[in-house]
Every structure is written in structure tokens, then in C-alpha cells.
Amino acid sequence: MSVRNLEPKAMWNHFADLNAVPRPSKKEERVIAFMMEFGKSLQLETLQDAIGNVIIKKPASKGMENRTTVILQSHLDMVHQKNSDTVFDFDQQGIEMVIDGDWVKAKGTTLGADNGIGVASIMALLASTDIEHPSLEAMFTIDEETGMTGAKELDGYNFSGKILLNLDTEDDDELSIGCAGGIDTNTIYSYKQEDIKPQSAVYELSIRGLLGGHSGMDIDKGRGNANKLMNRMIYHLMDTFDFQLISLDGGSLRNAIPRESMAVVAVGSDQKDAFEKVLNDFAAVLKFEYVSIEPHFSFTFSTTQSDAKAVGNDDLKKIIRTLYAVPNGVFRMSPDIAGLVETSSSLARVILKNGSFETQSLQRSSVETTKNDVANAVRNSFELMGCSVTQSGDYPGWQPNPNSAILKIMTDLYRKMYQEEPQVKACHAGLECGILGKHLPGVDMISFGPNIRAAHSPDEKVQISSVQKYWGYLLEVLKEIPLN
């Protein structure tokens, strides 16, 4: 069965059309052109602002002209990640989707349900001829995943709506009214190199199969961070053998928990048997620690060849000890909202080769002062070893408003439709609402969406039955929009 035959067909067909268009962050030219053509083909007012956001406006359906104008918002870009053994060119190929029971996923890559389902939902509403709705202002932002550039540079003068529905939440029983802000910390250090010692055996070490996931939404699930696990292994080896590190490459994206890490190391040939035993023994320790969380965790090693130089011994100690010490994971839970991660840090990327050691990490918090606190902790950890540190991409959180008028409308409607209470929450991800609120003062905002799992990883999937629930709810919400 094709995704295009799923219900609601209009939404799934727009999702399939969207997923045929490559749309990596900072390379959205093709998807911008796609959306511009889409809006113009419907003969709707369609424009692109200076930064690249696309705005499409649709008049109210008959009888809804006196209702408050609604801004519908989703982001055009998607995270591009694939498994290491998947052959796929994100710049040229469309996402290959498959149906697996009640879920839609992709073949070895991210699916793009984050935030493609939201985009496709808005497209279906714009193209509809039989759905009741107030005046709609569709806001398709760019570069959400790598800096929220579209939200930051938005021209608020293009909008008159007083209610904003952000369609970028990943649990269908949840209404989000707040989110974390974030800041990127990037570091670089030039290390002294030395030749690989004579009579050395060179090994490639690989960690694979971790769950990974979104470094905001999944940071509290206890999942393994491939960069930190590989560093533990290297620290243990460094403490046990006369050992050299040649290269290190872990993680991929700043906002994804790293799933894989590869290292190339050298040890005296006369120590091979003992070295391999220590590798196996310590891998068993790591697997035991994560057996209930990371069922597919894999540590492998094999002999290889290398003509590259190794890290000098003094720098090796600095680098590995710093990576061991740098904060990672949950830094503080919210004292005010049960179960909410307030502050966290994720060591997303580690690259060491050819005399250069670089890292990328992302700190998040719903409280500006604790965001700065954990960012300072990370900064100082690296500066102590002599790294040059750059912090950028700072964006604010979204302060919850429990007295929101649209929240009351949607809460009451959810109870009526499903005979249960919705989960009214703030989330630890970085939604665009906090930034958009600065450009759209006084606009009442809320975020919701269908069940999406493992966003930002090749295991990403969206639940078909949940999409149907979410779509039905969205249509009823539009009917309940109050008078101007």
C-alpha cells in the first residue's frame, strides 16, 4: 500500500509531494520554490520575505468571515540523517517512505515528519474547497533545525492574525504552551602531532546502533551518547596501555543525540592480545549498563592501516579528560513543572584529525539564567584545556501562559471529543514560538501535532492512526475560533 492511499488522503498526498523535494536546513531553495509554486497554483496571495520564509494567505470560508484570523505555522527544513550503511544522497533524492503496521517510516533515513506533517496539513487546508475555516495566514519558516533563522528574521508586518497554531509537537494528547531556549557552543583546538610508534598495531573502533533521537525531547530518556561512550573507552585504554589516538569522529547534527562514533588508535604489536581483551571486557561493561535502554548497542573493532599522525601524549590527556568532564545530559529538572527537563546539554559532535580537535554541543533551558549557567560550564571546561570557544545561535524560550484563550478553547474541545484530559505541557525542545512572539506581540500561541517518534534519527516514524486523530482535531479547532 502506498502512503498516498492513507487517510486523510489530501494531507498524505501533500506529505508525499513535499518529501520528494530535498530540503536540508540552509539549503531550502528548492522547497521554497515548491511552496511558492503551490500557493500561486491555488491563486492565493503568496509571498516570500527577505530571509526566505513563505507566506500564503487564504480568505475565510463562507460564514466564517467574522472569526479571528489564524496563523498556521510549520518549518520547511528537515534533519538529514542516515544509518552509516545506508546509501542515500539527501541533496538529490526524495525520502523513500514505507508503511510498517500503524506507522510510516523511511528506508534508513530520517522521515521528515518533523515538521513535514505540519507543512502538509497546512497545504491540505489551503487547497481545500469544503473545510470550514477562518481567514488563514500560512507561515512556512526556514532553517528551524540549525538556528531558527526564519523565525529570528521574520517580518511580522506580513501578518494580522491574533491566534497562532504551531503544528510541531510530537504527542497527540499534548498541548504545548512553552518551550526551551538554546545556545550552541563550538570549540576548536590545535594539538601537537607525533608519528605512530614503530611496531604498532592500528585498530578502528566503532560504536553503532544507539537510539539517538532529539537532544531536547529525548535527553531525559537515559540513552547512550556515542561521543561520551567512546571517550570512556579511550580513557580506559589510555589508563591501561602505552596507547596512541590517531582520529575520532562521532555524531553528526548539533540537535541530535549522537548514535555513532569511530576512532582509530594504535598500540604496541606485542600488546595486541591484552588490548583486544580489554576492548571486549569494557564493551561488555557498557552493554550491561545500557542493556535495558539500548538493545542494539554495538561495539566492534578491527585492525586497519593508517599513515596519519597521532595526538601528542600531553594533548591526548587534555582532550580525553576534558571530554570526560564536560557536562552532558540533564543538568536540572524544573522545580515548578513536574517531569519537565529545565536545563540540559548535549555533546553532539566530536572530530579529531590532522592536528585539529573540534566539538559542537547544544545547551537548552526554559530559564535564561540556567541556560547561561550550563553554557558557562561547557565553555569553561573547554577553555581550561586551551580551546577557542564560540557561542552563537542564542534563542529565547517560550514562557507558558496558562490563561491563554486558545488553550481553554482547545482543552475544552479535546475533552469533548476524546473524553479525557489533554496533557498541557511545556517541552524541552526549541519550538519557534518563543522567537515568533517577539515579532508578533499579543498573538495567542499553542503547539500540537500527531505522534512522532525518534525525530532527528533514521528511526523516525509517524503514527497513521494518530495523524487521523490530529487531523480531525485540527479541523474542529478551526470551527471553534472565536469572533473578532
For residue 115, give the nearest of 147, 82, 141 by alpha carbon.
141
Catalytic pick from 28, 49, 77, 137?
77
Q: What are phi and psi of 343, to 5 degrees?
A: -140, 140
Residue 280 CA: distances (Å) to CA of 252, 324, 418, 476: 26, 21, 52, 57
CA distance 382 to 347: 12
Cβ atoms within 10 Å of 29's Cβ, excluding its own: 12
Look up 77 and say whether it is catalytic.
yes
Identify the three-state secondary structure at position 62: coil
Contact 191, 357 (CB under 8 A): yes
Nearest 5°: the CA angle 20, 142, 41 is: 55
Indicate the angle between helix axes 113-127 and 29-41, nearest 10 degrees: 20
Between CA 464 and CA 5 the distance in angstroms is: 11
DSSP element (H, E) containing 477: helix 464-479
From the list 144, 170, 218, 432, the catalytic residue is 144
Pull the grid cell for residue 437: 512572539
C-alpha separations of 226 from 216, 255, 294 in Å: 16, 14, 11
Could you tell me if 188 and 360 are in contact, meaning their C-beta atoms sit under 8 angstroms apart?
Answer: no
* Catalytic residue flag (residue 144): yes
d(CA 75, CA 213): 19
Helices (H), 266-337: 272-289, 313-325
Q: State phi, psi for 182 to the nearest 5 degrees.
A: -155, 165
Active site residues: 77, 144
